[in-house]
Chain A
Amino acid sequence: MQGNSVAVRLRTLSKRFGNVVAVDDIDLDVIAGEFFAMLGPSGSGKTTMLRLIAGFELPSAGTIELAGRDVSTDPPFARDINTVFRDYALFPHMNVAKNVEYGLKVKKVAKALRKERVEEALASVRLDTYGGRKPNQLSGGQRQRVALARALVNKPSVLLLDEPLGALDLKLREEMQVELKQIQQQVGITFIFVTHDQGEALSMADRVAVFNNGRIEQVGTPTEIYEHPATEFVAGFVGTANVWPEADGLFTIRPERINFGVRADADVHAEGRVTDVFFLGSTTRYRVVLSDNRQMVIEVPNTGSSATIAAGDTVQASWRRDECRRIGSIEVSHQTIIN
């Protein structure tokens, strides 16, 4: 990593489409070399953000800086950024090697060097022998890797990835998550990754920005986002959260921090009735109505030794008060700008 230098700096960035504000007055710094995730539901503005950074859309207001240079109005081909598209956007009339070579060819890199770099890039995504294939002869996962090689071969300062794993099945998606993370660490390029999948964002990113309605609700490490949600939206969108109001604000606790029965170190106890049971494999999730009518979600690991609890059962629940977080109590979670 290149110290703490800023790779992408956004200031008061806005994008309007007619009356719709897709991106609303965003300030954000992405640090060079980090794996940064933009997380949010569809329509939250994260893809528009990506398109603004890539140059496919021009901002309605505000600025975009790349490594200290203002590129707000530059066309895509003048920005040192490459993109992995959601549909991969491989050129159907070119074979894999020609697809990967494209960026070097249009930039008039010498032919011998081109060949070398293409082979290197294909090897890095384990597609060395696929150079002669056409995109329609590849599986989804292979196309995804070609798209990655085609972008990385240009050695951009920033790589944008627009829901790159969305079209893959679950097993492949998990493999690619590991692979993407490894590739990012090898090449050391700043990755900005757009996703609506909170698990993907938490497991892969160094930092996550949570988007809602064109605005950033919170920026932070996965742990910060999960443990100290800055807003009710973040608490609910990232993982599952129990949220309730108290005199000095909204409080939240994660379902897995609540235990059935009486735990020795717990200082909050409650009684309730189980209304629903969801078996999730490694855990079981229970909906419980407490005696004060509060709805709670409790998640318990399936260790095989715990007694079975069924809907309708009356249960004891307990947790530690310091596991409850007041929403927005942590100041660091609002930090979108690096000083």
Chain B
Amino acid sequence: MFISRGARVALRIFTGLTLLVLYFPLAYVARLSIATSRGFSWPPSGFTTTAWSDTWNSESARDALGHSLTIALAASVVALVLGSLAASALTRFSFFGRNTVNLMIVLPIALPGIVTGIAFNSGFEQLGVSLSTFTLVVAHATFCIVIVFNNMSARMRQLPASLEEASADLGADQLQTFIYVRLPLLMTSLLAGGLLAFALSFDEIIVTTFTADSGYQTLPIWIFQNMFRDKSVPLVNVMATFVVVVMMLPVYLAQRLTEWASGSRS
């Protein structure tokens, strides 16, 4: 494609500005977390690790982190199992209502979190289920499944049916075919889906607010509740920085895995 010199320069500047707008606030928070100047003041100055050690020693911060990790992990595992099974059924068999089921599985990702949150909240109340870690995992799993499902069905559709037939033809029973052929070929999508689901659950706040018991804090809720308390602001900066790093890792890995898998395909 031909792009004039002027357009090329303009595009570069625009891209640079976009990235700056996206990442400057993140870098700023990271800088603040090790600054001696207090609050969100500009420009940040000095260097200290006090805020980091304070956060490490804050019990509520540590609890919140633990809760978030637990829920993200549990929701991802549930999503991996259910999402893979659903993808398997919907790609392999054609049956009445298949497209409807497909849509219903994917829909939760498009629903506003607040709707999902309210629906779950009143739903659990009607059923007499008290809000707990369990209700959080269930709520998070609904949108985590979508990610796993999409990743897995895309990959499954690419795998020719003849591979499984070849395996059976060569004498492998269903378990052997699953272990030696299907699982290795789906592994990258499974991991990528799991990592993205984990990332999605880890920073979720809207649905969480409606499905967590009062007083139960996940990391995003802890940050939200502490950012307007002057004393806690340094801790919030530290936690925010920490979350950015924790989130980047799975997303980066998921992307690399997907690239690697599509590159190694014949």
Contact = CB atoms under 8 A, between A and B. Distances in A.
B185 A92 contact: yes
Nearest to B261: A93
B165 A85 contact: yes
A150 B184 contact: no
Interface in B147-178: 160, 162-163, 165-173, 176
B181 interface: yes
Contact of B266 (A54, A75, A81, A134): A134
6 closest residue pairs by CB, A with B: A136-B266, A103-B170, A89-B162, A89-B166, A76-B168, A106-B172
A48 B127 CA distance: 52
Interface string B121-141: 000000000000000000000
Interface residues of B, number: 20
Interface residues of A, number: 28
Nearest to A150: B170
B169 A82 contact: yes
A106 B171 contact: yes
Given A76-B165, A102-B180, A136 B265 contact: yes
20 contacts: A56-B168, A56-B169, A75-B173, A76-B168, A76-B169, A77-B169, A81-B169, A83-B165, A85-B162, A87-B162, A90-B166, A90-B266, A91-B163, A91-B167, A92-B265, A93-B184, A102-B170, A103-B171, A106-B173, A107-B171
A90 B163 CA distance: 7
Interface in B177-234: 180-181, 184-185
B171 A56 contact: no
A83 B166 contact: yes
Interface string A126-148: 00000000111000000000000
Given A83-B169, A150-B170, 4 more contacts: A55-B169, A56-B169, A92-B266, A151-B170
A212 interface: no
Interface of B: 160, 162-163, 165-173, 176, 180-181, 184-185, 264-266
A154 interface: yes
Interface in A259-317: none
Interface string A67-109: 0000000011100011101110111110000000011011100
A75 B170 CA distance: 11
A307 B180 CA distance: 66
Q: Which of A54, A77, A82 has the most CB of B within 10 A?
A: A77
A77 B185 contact: no
B176 A106 contact: yes
Interface in A308-338: none
Contacts of A107: 171
B165 A89 contact: yes
B257 to A, nearest CB: 14
A97 to B, nearest CB: 14
Interface string A148-165: 001100100000000000
Nearest to A83: B169
A82 B170 contact: yes
A82 B162 CA distance: 13
B251 to A, nearest CB: 25
A134 B172 CA distance: 21
Contacts of B176: 106
Contacts of B172: 77, 102, 106
Contacts of A87: 160, 162
Given A92-B266, A93-B184, A136-B265, A75 B169 contact: no
A91 B166 contact: yes
Contacts of B173: 75, 77, 106
Contacts of A83: 165-166, 169
B167 A102 contact: yes
A85 B166 contact: yes
A102 B160 CA distance: 18
A319 B168 CA distance: 55
B155 to A, nearest CB: 12
A87 B161 CA distance: 11
A150 B167 CA distance: 11
Given A91-B181, A92-B185, A77 B163 contact: no
A77 B165 contact: no
Contacts of B265: 92, 136
Q: Which of B162, B168, B171, B264 has the most CB of A within 10 A?
A: B171
A102 B177 CA distance: 10
Contacts of B165: 54, 56, 76, 83, 85, 89
Contacts of B184: 93
Contacts of A55: 168-169
Q: Which of A83, A86, A136, A150 has the most CB of B within 10 A?
A: A83
B196 to A, nearest CB: 22
